[in-house]
């Protein structure tokens, strides 16, 4: 006897809705802040950095969130690399862009700008993080904390991308403190989420 809607079809639909809802959060915030702007930054610098960080976000999502062809997910080493290398990759590309456009290094940002970017970046990342957590809920019986860390890093990369589109500051110090630091914080938040959401927990059948 077949179910009216195949569980897998229903699962795909649920996951698609979760991802769409999750990414609607940063998009809505982005639109509320106005369309992406270069400010005083070179347009090519903004485009290069945005494209690089989009690539980092996609790669982190592919390697850290999707499970590949195994029900137990990709190898632990991949998830560890995602958690460790995502902030490093964001920093490296920002550094390379600063070297390519020396004028961007003259910018100075105050502590308030750092705090605002950390806050907005983390808020932008919360939607993707919630979506990734929903997608990977109760799915990892082996290393849920590591998976959670990878989810946090991947969502942090998306948050960093959205904030990068709006923030006019270009100094490397600000990029590290305002844009990359939230990725590290979200990776730590991901560890907690992994333990509580991604892990397998005993269930009791309804009597």
Binding site for another protein (CB under 8 A): 1-3, 5-12, 14, 67-72, 76, 138-139, 141-143, 199-203, 205-206
What's the distance, CA 121 to chain centroid?
A: 10
Query: C-beta of 201: minimal distance to another protein in Å?
Result: 8
> Do 123 and 117 touch, CB atoms closer than 8 A?
no
Query: C-beta of 66: minimal distance to another protein in Å?
Result: 10
Kindly report the three-state secondary structure assignment for every residue of 32-94.
HCCCCCCCCCCHHHHHHHHHHHHHHHHHHHHHHCCCCCCCCCCCHHHHHHHHHHHHHHHHHHH
32 vs 70, which CB is nearer to another protein?
70
48 vs 139, which CB is nearer to another protein?
139
Query: C-beta of 20: minimal distance to another protein in Å?
Result: 17
113 vs 143, which CB is nearer to another protein?
143
Helix (H, G, I), strand (E, B) or coil at 140: strand
10 vs 108, which CB is nearer to another protein?
10
Residue 158: partners with Cβ closer than 8 Å, 6 or more residues away: 23, 26, 57, 61, 124, 125, 128
68 vs 110, which CB is nearer to another protein?
68
Query: C-beta of 152: minimal distance to another protein in Å?
Result: 19
11 vs 39, which CB is nearer to another protein?
11
Query: C-beta of 146: minimal distance to another protein in Å?
Result: 8
Q: Which two tokens stand for residue 49?
A: 């950095």
d(CA 87, CA 40): 25
Query: C-beta of 9: minimal distance to another protein in Å?
Result: 8
Q: What angle do CA 164, 169, 170 make, to 5 degrees?
A: 85
């Amino acid at each position: 006897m077949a179910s009216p809607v195949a569980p897998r079809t229903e699962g795909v639909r649920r996951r698609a809705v979760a991802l769409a809802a999750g990414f609607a959060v940063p998009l809505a915030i982005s639109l509320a802040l106005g369309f992406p702007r270069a400010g005083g930054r070179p347009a090519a610098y903004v485009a290069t950095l945005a494209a690089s960080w989009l690539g980092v976000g996609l790669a982190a999502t592919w390697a850290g969130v999707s499970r590949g062809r195994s029900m137990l997910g990709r190898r632990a080493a991949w998830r560890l690399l995602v958690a460790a290398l995502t902030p490093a990759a964001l920093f490296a590309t920002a550094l390379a862009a600063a070297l390519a456009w020396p004028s961007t290094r003259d910018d100075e940002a105050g502590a308030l700008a750092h705090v605002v970017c950390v806050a907005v970046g983390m808020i932008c990342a919360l939607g993707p993080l919630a979506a990734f957590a929903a997608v990977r809920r109760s799915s990892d019986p082996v290393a849920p904390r590591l998976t959670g860390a990878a989810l946090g890093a991947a969502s942090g990369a998306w948050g960093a991308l959205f904030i990068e589109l709006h923030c006019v500051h270009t100094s490397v110090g600000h990029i590290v403190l305002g844009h990359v630091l939230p990725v590290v914080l979200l990776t730590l938040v991901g560890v907690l989420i992994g333990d509580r959401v991604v892990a397998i927990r005993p269930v009791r059948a309804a009597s």
